[in-house]
Structures are given as structure tokens and as C-alpha cells.
């Protein structure tokens, strides 16, 4: 059976897990790996949202990036026809108009701070988020904690600042790294970006079953 090994791991919880509805925002280096892990773990009722196409510079880290010029959500839709794929730009207006209530969990794997803030203010009690995975080489420095407890990561620091400025007073868990950035530009290594995606999928499953 396709999911026999997952069933052995989760036992009776597997039947609960596959009934959950999940929204994945961003299917790049982190979100694409997270999505792949979730679908291979048995989830089926999944919606993905992204507004980007594959570029040559994505090929060091993103699943499907050999398809230069292809819309990212279309790549995953072709691989998994049963998911819902929305080729839409995630911004404040989109967050204000989208209905998040039908989902059990919202997974934020986007890299735009303004969009992440709008998302946090639109989703209550069922959001998990990825912080900065670029500029690092050590996946063992990845950690999971409250957004308010993150440290070292400049992306998370900027995110916390913008959340406070927006009046956000909630809380949610994030995947982040305690490794100091190794360069100023957006250099990246799949050993870390992929590990962020796997950590995000692990957190998602635990949240869905908690």
C-alpha cells in the first residue's frame, strides 16, 4: 500500500490526518518541499497558492525548477491532480478577501514581509510560518518556536517588528535558523531550504493531530 509505512507510524491518527484541509502559501524552495512531504504523508485536501514561475536561478533548490518558465502551482497540480492550485498573488488585498475559515491549518512559506504580516492578521489560531532559510549551510541549526522567541535570524526580527507595528498581538509557531547568515545576498543551499520544508511539514502534521 502506498501509505502503509505512514500508517505504521501514525496508527489510528492517520485516518484523522488525511481528512484535514490544509492551505500552503508559497511553493518555492521551502513550500515546495513542505507540500511534497505532506502529500506523500497522505494529505489530499490541499490548496496551494503562488504567483511565480520557475527561473534558472531556482534550480539549485526548488522542486520542479527544471521546467523554466512554468507556473509553479501548475507543476504541482500536474504531479498531484487532486490538489487545488491557485495562481494568485498573495498580498494584503488577497488576504482580506480570501476565506481561511474552511482550512484546518494555514502554512506560510512566502518570503514577502508585507504579505506575511497581512496573513498573520487575517488567520487566527491556525497559522504556522517559515522564516529566512537563505544564506545558511547548517540544517542542524533549524529550530521551531513562537515567533516572539526567535533569535539571530534578521528576517524574523524584521517580521516581529512589522507585526508589532501592525498591532498584531497573537502568536504562532515558526521554523527558523539560529545560524548567523553567511552572506549579504540571497545565496542558498538546498540542504537548508529543503530541511526548512521538512521541518515545516513535521510541524504541520503535529499541529493537525494535536
Q: 45-93 pLDDT, tens per residue? A: 999 999 999 999 989 898 989 999 999 999 999 999 999 999 999 999 9
Burial class (CB within 10 angstroms; exposed 0-12, middle 13-18, buried 19+) of 11:
exposed
Q: Checking phi first, is residue 194 left (phi over 0); if not, alpha (psi -120 to 50) or beta?
A: alpha
Sheet with 21-25, strands from edge to edge, namely: 84-87, 45-50, 21-25, 105-108, 127-130, 173-177, 142-146
Give the count of domains, the chain. Answer: 1
CATH of the domain at 36: 3.40.50.720
> Could you give the CA distance from residue 58 to residue 107 in angstroms, rounded to a whole number?
21
Q: Which residue range is the domain that position 63 belongs to?
A: 4-209
Output the pTM of the full model.
0.95
Instruction: Render pLDDT for 113-136 as a digit per residue (tens, 0 to 9).
Output: 999 999 999 998 999 999 999 999
Q: What is the pLDDT of residue 185?
A: 84
Amino acid at each position: 500500500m502506498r501509505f502503509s509505512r505512514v500508517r505504521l507510524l501514525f496508527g489510528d491518527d492517520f485516518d484523522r490526518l488525511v481528512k484535514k484541509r490544509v492551505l500552503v502559501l508559497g511553493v518555492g524552495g521551502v513550500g515546495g518541499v513542505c507540500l511534497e512531504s505532506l502529500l506523500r504523508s497522505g494529505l489530499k485536501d490541499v490548496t496551494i497558492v503562488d504567483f511565480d514561475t520557475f527561473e534558472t536561478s531556482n534550480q539549485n533548490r526548488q522542486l520542479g525548477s527544471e521546467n523554466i518558465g512554468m507556473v509553479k502551482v501548475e507543476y504541482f497540480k500536474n504531479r498531484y491532480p487532486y490538489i487545488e492550485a491557485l495562481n494568485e498573488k498573495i498580498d494584503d488585498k488577497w488576504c482580506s478577501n480570501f476565506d481561511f475559515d474552511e482550512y484546518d491549518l494555514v502554512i506560510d512559506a512566502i518570503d514577502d514581509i508585507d504579505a506575511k504580516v497581512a496573513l498573520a492578521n487575517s488567520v487566527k489560531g491556525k497559522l504556522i510560518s517559515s522564516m529566512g532559510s537563505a544564506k545558511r549551510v547548517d540544517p542542524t541549526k533549524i529550530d521551531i518556536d513562537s515567533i516572539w522567541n526567535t533569535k539571530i535570524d534578521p528576517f524574523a526580527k524584521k517580521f516581529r517588528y512589522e507585526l508589532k507595528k501592525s498591532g498584531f498581538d497573537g502568536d504562532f509557531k515558526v521554523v527558523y535558523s539560529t545560524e548567523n547568515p553567511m552572506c549579504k545576498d540571497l545565496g542558498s543551499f538546498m540542504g537548508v531550504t529543503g530541511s526548512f520544508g521538512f521541518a515545516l511539514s513535521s510541524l504541520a502534521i503535529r499541529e493537525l493531530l494535536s
